[in-house]
Structure 1
Amino acid sequence: MSTETSPAARIESDAVIIGAGPVGLFAVFQLGMLGIKAHVIDALDEVGGQCTALYPEKPIYDIPGFPAVDAGDLITKLEAQAAPFHPVYLLGRRVEAVAGDAESGFTLTTSKGETVACKVILIAAGAGAFGPNRPPLDGLEDFEGQSVFYLVKRREDFRGKRIVIGGGGDSAVDWAVSLAPIAEKVFVVHRRDKFRAAPESVRQLHALAESGAVDLVTPFQLSGLQGSAGQLTGVAVKDLDGNEKMLDADRLLPFYGLANTLGPIADWGLDLHKHQITVERSTCETNRPGIYAIGDVADYPGKLKLILQGFADAAGAAHAAFARVFPDQALHFEHSTTKGVTEL
C-alpha cells in the first residue's frame, strides 16, 4: 500500500476518491483499467470503511461469486485487485474544502494541510462520517474500549464472556446469534418484544432463546453500569414501569445505530437529498461537472443501498470520467478478459 503523509505537501493526481470503503477501492480498479491514476482519502486510519471498522468478521452473502465472504476478507481482496494500479492512500484525514471546476481542475485541501490537484473527484463516502449512538448511561466513558464496545472486530475476544447486547435491529440480533455459541451467556435488552431485523435472523434468535442460550430481556432498557477500573460486573436494566434489575455481565455491546454526517461535503454546493448526493443515474455525475458520487452516498431513482450496486456505480462513473481526464482520447471499451490488467 502506498501512502503519502508529509504535511502541507502539494500532490497531483488524475482522480481523487473520497472514501476507502469497498466501493472506493473498486473505483481504484475501474479507473486503473482506463489508465487513470487515483489518490484515495479517508478519515479512518485504515482502508475498508465500515467493513473494517464495524464488522470485519461479519459474513456478506450478496457479493457475486461468493456464497459468503467476511467483510474483512472482501476488503483484502479488493485491495489486491486495486494494487496493480498503485493507488496512494491518504488516511486519517478528511477533505475540508474543494475549489475549482472541471475545466480548470480541482484542488482539495485536507485536514492535515495537503493540497491535492486533480481532474475528477469520486465521492464514495458511504454513510458519511460515522460514530455510534451512545446510550445515556452515567460513567459510560469509563468503560468504553475495555468492557463496553460499539463493534465486534474479533468474535473470539468474547469467548466465555457474559454479554449484554442492547438494541433490536440487525446488528443486535445478528451478533446475539453469532456470539451465543461461544459466550458464557448472552442477554439481549430491547424496549419492545418485536425486533427490527431480517426474519430469518429473528427466527434464529428466538430458537436460541427457547434453548436457553440467549436470554431476551424485554421490554427493558439499559439504565446503569456496575463495576470499577473499566471492568463491568453488571448492567442495570429498567422496564417501562420503572422496575429495575441487574444482569451479571463482563461486556456490554450497545447497538443503537450510527450517527452519520456528510461533514464538509455538505458545503460543496452539491444537490443533496436526505444526507445523500443527487446524481445523474447513468454517469453518477453530480450537479458540479467532474464530481461524481458512488455507492451509498449517491441518490437516484431506484437506488439500492447494496455494495454490489455501488460497484456498478464505480464502473459507470469511471467510464464517464475518462472523457474529462483524457478529453482528446476516444474510449474504446474492452472487456477485462481480452484487455487483461496492465500496471500504471
Structure 2
Amino acid sequence: MSTPHRTDVAIIGAGPVGLFAVFECGMLKMRCHVIDALGEPGGQCAALYPEKPIYDIPGHPRIEAAQLIDRLVEQAEPFAPTYHLGQQVETLARQPDGRWLVGTGAGTTIDAAAVIVAAGVGAFGPNRPPLAGIEDFENRSVFYMVTRKEALRGKRVVVAGGGDSALDWSILLADVAAQVLVVHRRDKFRGAPDSVARLHALAEAGKVELVTPYQLHGLEGAGGQLSAVTVATLEGEVRRLEADVLLPFFGLSMNLGPIANWGLALDKHHIAIDQATAATSAPGIFAVGDIATYPHKLKLILTGFAEAASAAHAIYPLVHPGEVLHFEYSTTAGVPGV
C-alpha cells in the first residue's frame, strides 16, 4: 500500500456535483482530493453527452454539458484540488481516530476527515436491445451515446426510445442528419412535455419521422456497417428502415459496484441520506447527487449542487473542530485561499 495522501475531504466522483463540492468545501477552507473511474472530469456529462445542451442550470439559458464541466473545473481551480482519474475506489475503511481511508484499485490511498460520495449512478452502462448480432455493429454504426453530433451529419439515423435522451437527440439531429426516424413502441413519449411538443412540431414539418407503435426487430448490414433496421408491431407487422446509424436509448443499467459493500444504508440502488446535511448512515460519510436519495427528491443537477453545499457545511466541524463557522455570502467573502 502506498503512503496515504492526507487531506480534509475525499470526493468520490468528478461529475458536475462532485466538482461543485470542491468549490463548496474550498469556500470553507477545506482541501479536497477527487477520485473518478473515468479518465477526465465530467462524469456522464463528459462520457455520454458532451454536446448535449442543458437548459436548467441557473444563469445559463442553454449550456452544453462539456462547457458546464469546463466552467465547474475552472470554478474549483482556486482551491487546487488533487485529481486521481482513471481509478475506481475499491475500499473505504474507518480508522481508529475517526478519519477515513479511501483505497483505489490503482493502489492510491487517501486519508480524509470526511468523504463525499458523488458517484452519479455508480458504475453505469447502456441497456442493450436484444437484437441478434448487434455486437458486430456496436461503436461502428450502433452507438449508445453521441459525443460529436457532426459525425452524424448527412447520415440516415434511427433513434430508438421514448425518454428524454431519445427525444433530445432526435431534436438536435433534425438539422444535422439526412433523415431522423424515431422508433417507439407507443404513440406517447415519456420525455419532458416541451421536448414532446418540439418533436411533434418537427414531425409535422417533415424534419423527423415518428415510427410508432413499433419496436426494434433486426439489423441488416455487413462489416459493422448498417444498411437497414427492421422494426415490428406487437401484431407482427414488419417494416424496413434504411439506415446508416442506430441510436438505441433505453436508459442505463445501474450498478453500485464496490459502494454496495461499504456498509452504508441503501434504498434500492441509491444511498439513503439526511436531506438537511447529506449525511449517510456512517459518521463522516456524505452522499450527494444522483446516487443519494431521500423522500420526494428531485433528480436535477441543481439539487445536487444544493446537497454539495449542505454536505460541506456539515463537514466543517469535522475538519475544524472547535471553530465556529461564521457564514458569509460569496459576494462578501470572495474566494478564500485554503
Q: Structure 2 length as normaliser, TM-score? A: 0.96
Q: Per-residue deviation at 1:77?
A: 0.4
- Aligned counterparts of 2:121 and 2:106: Cα–Cα separation in 1: 22
Matched residue type, 2:291: V
- Aligned counterparts of 2:149 and 2:2: Cα–Cα separation in 1: 40
Aligned to 1:20: 14
Trace 1:258-277 onto structure 2 (pairs within 5 A).
258-277=252-271
Q: How many residues align?
A: 338
- For the residue of structure 1 that corresponds to 2:11, the secondary structure is strand
Aligned to 2:321: 327
- Aligned counterparts of 1:304 and 1:200: Cα–Cα separation in 2: 18
Provide, for residues 79-99 of structure 1, a one-character-per-residue CA deviation record: whole Å limited to 9, x for no partner: 000011111111112111111
- For the residue of structure 2 that corresponds to 1:78, the secondary structure is helix
Mark the runs of 5 or more structure 1 residues left unpaired by the alignment: 1-6
Aligned to 2:100: 106
- Aligned counterparts of 2:68 and 2:319: Cα–Cα separation in 1: 29
Q: Per-residue deviation at 1:9?
A: 5.5
Aligned to 2:91: 97
- Aligned counterparts of 1:32 and 1:44: Cα–Cα separation in 2: 23
Matched residue type, 2:186: R
Mark the runs of 5 or more structure 2 residues left unpaired by the alignment: none
- Aligned counterparts of 2:127 and 2:273: Cα–Cα separation in 1: 29
- For the residue of structure 1 that corresponds to 2:295, the secondary structure is coil
Aligned to 1:145: 139
- For the residue of structure 1 that corresponds to 2:169, the secondary structure is helix
Aligned to 2:237: 243
Provide, for residues 108-153 of structure 1, a one-character-per-residue CA deviation record: whole Å limited to 9, x for no partner: 1111122211110001112221110001112212211111111111
Q: Per-residue deviation at 1:68?
A: 1.6
> How high is the sequence identity, in percent, across the aligned residues?
58
Alignment counterpart, residue 167 of structure 1, candidates 161, 170, 177: 161
Asked if 1:66 is matched to 2:68, the reply is no
- For the residue of structure 2 that corresponds to 1:14, the secondary structure is strand
Aligned to 1:193: 187
- Aligned counterparts of 2:134 and 2:96: Cα–Cα separation in 1: 48
- Aligned counterparts of 2:203 and 2:98: Cα–Cα separation in 1: 62
Runs of 4+ residues over 6 Å off in structure 1: none
Aligned to 1:4: none
Aligned to 1:283: 277
Alignment counterpart, residue 196 of structure 2, candidates 202, 222, 234: 202
Aligned to 1:56: 50
- Confirm or deny: 8 A CA contact 1:102 1:120 kept in the other structure: no
Distance change >3 Å, CA 216–CA 321, structure 1 → 2: same
Alignment counterpart, residue 257 of structure 1, candidates 247, 251, 261: 251
- For the residue of structure 1 that corresponds to 2:328, the secondary structure is coil
Aligned to 1:176: 170
Structure 1 residues 210-219 or 68-77, which shifts more? 210-219
Structure 1 residues 51-60 or 37-46, which shifts more? 51-60
Provide, for residues 277-330 of structure 1, a one-character-per-residue CA deviation record: whole Å limited to 9, x for no partner: 111222111111100011122222332111111111111110110111121322
Q: Structure 1 length as normaliser, TM-score? A: 0.94
Aligned to 1:154: 148
- Confirm or deny: 8 A CA contact 1:101 1:290 kept in the other structure: no
- Confirm or deny: 8 A CA contact 1:21 1:49 kept in the other structure: yes
Distance change >3 Å, CA 11–CA 66, structure 1 → 2: same
- Aligned counterparts of 2:137 and 2:164: Cα–Cα separation in 1: 24
Asked if 1:118 is matched to 2:91, the reply is no
Q: CA RMSD for the aligned pairs? A: 1.6
Distance change >3 Å, CA 282–CA 173, structure 1 → 2: same
